Amino acid sequence: DQFDNLDKHTQWGIDFLEKYAKFVKERIEIEQNYAKQLRNLVKKYCPKRSSKDEEPRFTSCIAFFNILNELNDYAGQREVVAEEMGHRVYGELMRYSHDLKTERKMHLQEGRKAQQYLDMCWKQMDNSKKKFERECREAEKAQQSYERLDNDTNATKADVEKAKQQLNLRTHMADENKNEYAAQLQNFNGEQHKHYYIVIPQIYKQLQEMDERRTIKLSECYKGFADSERKVIPIISKCLEGMILAAKSVDEHRDSQIVIDCFKSGFEPPGDFPFEDYSQNIYRTISDGTISTPKQEGMRIDSKTTVGKAKGKLWLFGKKPKPQSPPLTPTSLYTSSTPNGSQYPIFSIEPVHYCMSDIKTGKPRIPSFRSLKRGYLYLQGPALEDFSHLPPEQRRKKLQQRIDELNRELQKETDQKDALIKMKDVYEKNPQMGDPGSLQPKLAETMSNMDRLRMEIHKNEAWLSEVEGKVAARSDRRHSSDINHLVTQGRESPEGSYTDDANQEVRGPPQQHAHPGEFDDEFEDDDPLPAIGHCKAIYPFDGHNEGTLAMKEGEILYIIEEDKGDGWTRARRHNGEEGYVPTSYIDVTLEKNSKGA
């Protein structure tokens, strides 16, 4: 008797099923959006490598890009979760919901039909009952009429007979309706029993089974929902382990070495700045043993003499020799007496000459290209084929990389040549497979490429040998300088310059040593250097950087210092202005007699 309630309950079950399906759909959308956002995030922070030079080299960068790759894989697993939920849970729920609605509709229709049939039987029974009741009342009226006429003495016999016939008719009809009512009643009772004990229970059982299947389906979908997530957990764990391994792969020492290899220039550090004594003229008039009292060449200095009070600059192996010593004026020569009466000359400088010597005209000269390299003041121009615009160490690495690439290309061409030769042999043995002459142009082209590559390798190896030779020479020179500096440490001349011999501490201008220009690239000289050749500017150079010399195309300059492997040549104009110009921008002509002077 709860057909309507069961109707409502089954409808609620279907609504709940669709509600859960909607929940799964929204969860799928969340997973898809999450995966999409993760992929966009990875794409945003993953660099677009357009060339080999932009590839990450530092272990921290490589680890970060590995983490991005793992995160991209993780996003892919979120997409797998969404896809699995879509097929296994949401799609199954929507199909089952459609089938469930169809089945429920069928069972409810059967129940309604059974109820309608029972109602029809009840109406038939009720109609027969009412008809029987009506006929019985009519029979009672006919009987009362017959009894009244039969007792009436005034009634005729014909009226009595007529009333009797009417009574018999009504009684007969009442009996027929009674039988009809009894049959309908029996039929209704049977149908009603069948309805409540057979038909409706069967329909309710089918509805119950349907609802239980719906519940089981929900349980399976709940499990499938969790299984979709659990299936990708091992792969997600691998992604997380990959991130951890990427984090452990970071090596700070290796990154530091990469930075060193990347920016190592190969130049020598600049030397110490010399001490320039400006207090010398204070003591120039003192004639007896003072701080600035000089001795004759070859004599020992006084133990009370202060070291380093001289205008000359400090050099590792003595004061730097000058090409020409300034002439002595009469006013610059004095004599002084020692306690034993001996006299010796004093070399001094006039105040005017002393002041004028400190005035610098034109552009200040720089000690060497090393000061230009401080701050990466590289050549402002196109990259040269021999990488001479780079520092020695970087140039050596670039040349080595190019040689390796050329060797790889040469190996490819060699393999291709061998393959062509084998193919040609096969064609010669089996002419039906192909024409051997058709391979000759390709073979000639391959041989030409091999010759070209060998020439390129030879040229680059020559440049590499030149760079390695210069770097080795500088390293040996620096090592020798360090040793000599340790040997001469503690021995200074009165003018503040180190001497090569402990027994030969001189005063005044030093003697000319061998290799006078050995340290010209590290310290500047007070006197102008002699010209060793001339050059013609092939390209214009602006010379904005400090220590460089601007020049116009076709301009003629004097060469005062050759290129020492750093890509710069020291030049001088006719007006005496000096500076460095790019070697690749000029056409140099050296004088044979002046070279190395």
Count of structural domains, the chain = 3
Pair 90, 239 in one domain: yes
Pair 85, 234 in one domain: yes
Pair 91, 181 in one domain: yes
Tokens of 94: 């929507």
Within a domain: 151: yes
Distances (CA, A) of 266 to 88, 261, 393, 477: 66, 10, 5, 13
CATH of the domain at 401: 1.10.287
Q: Quick check: 149 and 160 in contact, CB under 8 A?
A: yes
CA-based nearest residue to 105, from 210, 213, 201 = 210
Distance of CA 62 to the CA centre of its chain: 8
Whole-number Å distance between alpha carbons of 90 and 97: 10
Amino acid at 321: P
Q: Which residues pair with 345 in a beta bridge?
A: 335
Within a domain: 195: yes
Whole-number Å distance between alpha carbons of 501 and 505: 7
Tokens of 410: 């040469």
In sequence order, what are the residues at sequence separation of 6 or more whose Cβ sits closer than 8 angstroms to the Cβ of residue 556?
534, 535, 536, 537
Q: Tell me, what's the pLDDT at 82?
A: 93
Q: What is the DSSP letter of 381?
A: S
In sequence order, what are the residues at sequence separation of 6 or more whose Cβ sits closer than 8 angstroms to the Cβ of residue 214?
13, 14, 17, 96, 100
CATH of the domain at 89: 1.20.1270.60
Whole-number Å distance between alpha carbons of 557 and 576: 10
Whole-number Å distance between alpha carbons of 455 and 449: 10
Q: Tell me, what's the pLDDT at 546?
A: 81
Whole-number Å distance between alpha carbons of 180 and 184: 6
Within a domain: 208: yes
Tokens of 153: 């003495």
Amino acid at 129: K
**Domain's final residue, options 204, 235, 259:** 259
In sequence order, what are the residues at sequence separation of 6 or more whose Cβ sits closer than 8 angstroms to the Cβ of residue 176?
135
In sequence order, what are the residues at sequence separation of 6 or more whose Cβ sits closer than 8 angstroms to the Cβ of residue 25?
90
Tokens of 343: 């006299």
Pair 460, 545 in one domain: no
Tokens of 4: 């309507």
Pair 237, 119 in one domain: yes
Whole-number Å distance between alpha carbons of 298 and 499: 12
Within a domain: 264: no
Q: Quick check: 93 and 17 in contact, CB under 8 A?
A: yes
Amino acid at 351: P
CB count, 10 Å around CB of 216? 10
Within a domain: 136: yes
CATH of the domain at 539: 2.30.30.40
Within a domain: 112: yes
Whole-number Å distance between alpha carbons of 233 and 240: 10
In sequence order, what are the residues at sequence separation of 6 or more whose Cβ sits closer than 8 angstroms to the Cβ of residue 161?
none
Q: What is the DSSP letter of 594?
A: T
Q: Quick check: 374 and 532 in contact, CB under 8 A?
A: no
Pair 120, 236 in one domain: yes
Q: Which residues pair with 475 in a beta bridge?
A: none
On whether the pTM is more than 0.75, the answer is no
Pair 413, 558 in one domain: no
Whole-number Å distance between alpha carbons of 63 and 80: 25
Continuous segment of H or E residues that includes residue 280 = none
Within a domain: 303: no
Q: Quick check: 78 and 35 in contact, CB under 8 A?
A: yes
Pair 431, 543 in one domain: no
Pair 559, 445 in one domain: no
Pair 30, 135 in one domain: yes
Q: Which residues pair with 548 in a beta bridge?
A: 580
Q: Quick check: 369 and 568 in contact, CB under 8 A?
A: yes
**Domain's final residue, options 259, 281, 309:** 259
CB count, 10 Å around CB of 92? 17
For residue 9, what are the domain limits?
3-259
Q: What is the DSSP letter of 289?
A: S
**Domain's final residue, options 206, 225, 259:** 259
What does each of the 597 residues of the chain score in pLDDT, given as a tens digit? 888 999 999 999 999 999 999 999 999 999 999 999 999 999 999 877 665 555 667 899 999 999 999 999 999 999 999 999 999 899 999 999 999 999 999 999 998 998 899 999 999 889 988 988 888 988 888 888 888 888 887 878 888 888 888 888 888 888 898 899 899 899 999 988 988 899 889 999 999 999 999 999 999 999 999 999 999 999 999 999 999 999 999 999 999 988 888 888 777 778 888 888 888 777 655 544 444 444 444 434 444 433 333 334 444 444 444 444 344 333 333 344 444 444 434 434 344 444 344 444 434 444 444 444 443 434 444 557 778 877 777 888 888 888 999 999 999 999 988 888 888 888 888 888 788 888 888 888 998 899 889 888 988 888 888 878 776 666 665 555 554 444 444 433 333 333 443 333 333 333 334 344 444 444 444 456 788 889 999 988 888 888 889 998 999 999 998 888 788 899 998 888 899 999 989 998 887 654 444
For the chain, state the CA radius of gyration. 58
SS3 at position 560: strand
Terminal alpha carbon distance of the chain = 127
Within a domain: 297: no
Instruction: State the angle between helix axes of 157-194 and 91-151 in degrees (0 to 180), rounded to the nearest 10.
Output: 160
Pair 452, 550 in one domain: no
In sequence order, what are the residues at sequence separation of 6 or more whose Cβ sits closer than 8 angstroms to the Cβ of residue 448?
none
Q: Tell me, what's the pLDDT at 371?
A: 42
Tokens of 470: 């210069």
| β 586-590/556-561 pair status | unpaired
In sequence order, what are the residues at sequence separation of 6 or more whose Cβ sits closer than 8 angstroms to the Cβ of residue 137?
none
Pair 231, 146 in one domain: yes
Whole-number Å distance between alpha carbons of 273 and 196: 118
